[in-house]
Chain A
Amino acid sequence: MSTAQADPVAKAMRSFIGDIGPTIALALESCMHCGQCAEACQYYVQTGDARYTPIHKIEPLKQVYHREVGPFAFAYKFFGMAPKLTTEKLTEWQDLIYDSCNMCGRCSLICPMGIDIADLVEQTRHGMYEAGLAPADFLGVLAEKEHASGSPFGLTSTQFQDLLHDIGRKYGVVMHVDERQADIVPTVSSIDVKTYPGSMAAIAKILNHIGAPWSFRTDGFDADNVSLTAGDRAGQNVITQSIVKAAIACGAKTLVMPECGHSFTEMRWEAANTYGKDLPFRVVQITELIAENISSGNIRVNQITQNATYHDACQLSRRGGATAAPRVILAALGVTLHEMEDAGDANWCCGGGGGTALIKRAQPLRDKAFAIKQKQVEATGADVIYTSCSGCRQTLDHGGKSAGWNKTVGSLLELVADNLIPRARSDLSEIKPQIIPMPGNAPMPVAE
């Protein structure tokens, strides 16, 4: 459990009621019970279990809305049409709201009434977390650690700084850390830190190539935001504020999100609301930054011969609006792209989204969800699967191993870094020299 709870129902109700504004109310009033959302959900499609119908998963939120907030709340109470929320009900819904929802948003895309069900799931998770019902193994534990330390794995600023310099040495790339001034500030995902450190070298290599002043910040670096998927708003706030403050401290004009879907959702679409005003910098995902620089001619890449497919991370494409960028990059690389059925905006989740990859008991369900992706990947005949989300990459890696694939799963970011065409000497003269701080540079304190 996330925290010991004195009155979990009251806490959940307070959270639900606090989240409800006109958009959520409209969504909760609109459902016609047509059931189309079930047909877009991979958990229902793969199991045929009606409980996995997306709109059914948010029933506790709906119940509280009708009983306490809606325009006919008095009638719902009087006629007993919306019973009081109970601990039993919340507990019963735990697996529906966490284990069997990757927040992919396909249900939101199909709903004929325009209900953003994935958003309702996020709000419902807030209440579940407050009630202490985030699955402890591992999602809740990692969220708690992130809340307390700023990183789900408890990585300190000093450790991160050392790690960056180690990576710099290992991959032979210049690392910029805690610069006083930086136009571009990249962030990382804890999955990259633990599993794919090469992606941090790739970011550095590409930013060095772009040539604008840039710097990692040890006072706000881990954009993973497990808290968002767990439903811990306070933890989400800690992560968001530390990154925003760090970027502001060095005068950043662009904050770059790593290959991570939900961190993009948080920083691109929710952070400004958490911060309470417009952010003084723009937020882009690394794929978008690369695509921009390819389009402007600032990045040129080698032509490679590969039969590849691309897996869209739901939070980047359908939920984030960054569907085109990876395809610009793959086209520039000359990759023969074999798109999967439903690729792009209607893609299927890899099976590990929305924090489900961090719920141990959800493994059997996750495998069923992955089976759709497996079938679609195999149907393309591609040798390599690229993606721009390290969470998806990890799920595809693990799933592929279980399935005995002879296919490689790769990072689009790393592919670009490996195929950069160095600038001509005349171009290099236009780049300002960078001051690279020594490892002993005093780290900024982690945000409160």
Chain B
Amino acid sequence: MTLLAFARGPALQAATLIMIAGMFWRLAGILLLRRRPAHAAARHSLLVRLSGGARTIITRTIPRRNFWPRVATGVSMSYVMHIGLFVILFAGAPHILVFHQITGLSWPNLPKGVIVIASALTLAALVALLVRRLNNPVLRLLSNVDDYLSWLLVFLPITTGILLSGETVAGYGTLLALHILSVEVLMIWLPFGKLMHVALVFAGRGVIGFNFARKGAAT
């Protein structure tokens, strides 16, 4: 079996299984804990509370204007990285092809040049975020192995993806295999570390939005 066949076959199946099972296990471990009923009379109806939760999922995307001046740098870097990742993943032609093979769905892609620029910006933002993490006393204090490992596991697919698009350092087959394997390692780590925020962000924001809407307080 070639490296590419391994990456496309058993490795992909194993990574997908571990990712789904790990996410399920982590979410179940949170949700199945003993729940205590909230007896305090809510200020608003269930509908208002639910809409508070849904609204907060959106509104927490950008910090309030009161906070913005102090967090603008980090948030901006983070957004360049996240938007870049989104563009690469959902607007790059090879990725759309993969989605089409899996789901049957397809949509127009952005030109390769745009994807290359997005990749370069994403990579630059990732490096800037790492430099910031290493130099900012608060981030240095909070950081652990998970932060640096997760960073590396996002860095590798982007790097191998850029190399793949240029086909400079190795042949297409080898680079594609390395790119797919780097994504699979990321998938395997996703449920266990901070990358799980892809799911937890919705739950966390929704819960605080619901709870604070219950109080009639700002969400």
A interface vs B, CB < 8 Å? Answer: 20-23, 25-27, 29-36, 38-40, 44-45, 48, 50-51, 53, 55-56, 69-72, 75, 81, 108-116, 268-273, 275-279, 282-283, 317-323, 342, 344-346
Q: Which of B1-9, B119-127, B175-183, B199-207 contacts A (4 or more CB under 8 A)?
A: B199-207
Quote the shortest CB–CB distance from B216 to chain A (angstroms).
Answer: 3
In the complex where A25-B30, A33-B143 touch, is A346 in contact with B208 (Cβ < 8 A)? Answer: no
B143 touches A110 (CB 8 A): no
Shortest CB–CB separation between residue B118 and chain A, in angstroms? 22
Residues of chain B within 8 A (CB-CB) of A268 are: 40
Q: Which residue of A lies closest to B137 (CB)?
A: A50
A114 touches B138 (CB 8 A): no
Indicate if the CB atoms of B33 and A114 lie closer than 8 Å. no
Asked if A272 meets B39 with Cβ closer than 8 Å, knowing A39-B67, A112-B63, A346-B67, the reply is: yes
B160 smallest CB distance to A (angstroms):
24
Nearest CB of B to A326, in Å: 14
Residues 116-150 of B contacting A (Cβ, < 8 Å): 136-145, 147
Q: Provide 17 A-B residue pairs closer than 8 Å at the C-beta atoms, listed in order of the A residue.
A: A22-B30, A33-B142, A39-B70, A40-B67, A44-B138, A50-B137, A53-B142, A71-B26, A109-B64, A109-B67, A110-B63, A112-B201, A112-B205, A114-B205, A115-B208, A273-B40, A279-B39
| Cα–Cα distance between A245 and B31 once the two chains are bound (Å) | 34
B30 interface neighbour in A29, A81, A322, Cβ under 8 Å: A29
Are A29 and B196 in contact, CB atoms less than 8 angstroms apart? yes
Q: How far is the CB of B196 from chain A (nearest CB, A)?
A: 7
| A320 close to B34 (CB less than 8 A) | no
Contact B194 A320 (CB under 8 A): no
Q: Which residues of chain B come closer than 8 Å to A72, judged between CB atoms?
A: 26, 29, 192
Query: Taking chain B's interface residues, is the majority helix, strand, or loop, or is none over half, making it mixed?
Result: helix
| Chain A residues near B33 (CB-CB < 8 A) | 20-22, 25, 69
Q: Are B218 and A109 in contact (CB under 8 A)?
A: yes
Do residues A50 and B71 form an inter-chain contact, with CB atoms below 8 A?
A: no
CA–CA, A119 to B71, complex, Å?
23
Q: Which residues of B contact A (CB under 8 A)?
A: 25-26, 28-41, 43, 56, 60-61, 63-64, 66-67, 70-71, 74-75, 78, 136-145, 147, 192, 194, 196-197, 200-201, 203-209, 211-212, 215-218
* Complex CA distance for A318 and B212, rounded to whole angstroms: 9
- With a cutoff of 8 Å between Cβ atoms, the chain A residues found around residue B30 in the complex are 22, 25-26, 29, 71
Known pairs A55-B142, A319-B215; A29 contacts B39 (CB<8 A): no
Q: Give the most central of A22, A40, A268, A272: most B CB within 10 Å.
A: A22
- The answer to whether residues A276 and B35 also contact, given A38-B138, A56-B142 and a CB cut-off of 8 A, is no
Measured between alpha carbons, how far is A377 from B138 in the docked complex, in Å? 29
B197 to chain A: which residues have CB within 8 Å? 30, 32, 113
A26 & B204 in contact (Cβ 8 Å cutoff)? yes
CB distance from B29 to the nearest CB of A (A): 2
Contact B34–A36 (Cβ < 8 Å)? no
A contact residues around B140 at 8 Å (CB): 50
Complex contact A278–B67 (CB within 8 A): no
Pairs A-B, 3 closest by C-beta atoms: A71-B29, A321-B216, A272-B39
B34 touches A21 (CB 8 A): yes
**Residues of the B chain whose Cβ atoms lie less than 8 Å from the Cβ of A321:** 43, 212, 215-217
Does the CB pair B218–A26 fall under 8 Å? no
Contact between A53 and B204 (Cβ–Cβ < 8 Å)? no
The closest CB in chain B to the CB of A321 belongs to: B216
Q: A247 to chain B: closest CB distance in Å? A: 14
Chain A residues with Cβ below 8 Å from B64 are 109-110, 346
Given contacts A72-B192, A113-B205, 15 further A-B contacts (CB under 8 A): A23-B211, A29-B26, A30-B203, A33-B144, A33-B194, A34-B78, A35-B74, A36-B71, A45-B70, A48-B137, A75-B192, A111-B60, A112-B61, A116-B208, A277-B39
The answer to whether B35 and A346 touch across the interface, beta carbons within 8 angstroms, is no
Q: Is the CB of A346 within 8 A of B207?
A: no
Rounded to whole angstroms, the CA-CA distance of A323 and B215 in the bound complex is 11
Residues of A within 8 A of B31 (CB): 22
Complex: chain B residue closest to A19, CB-CB: B36
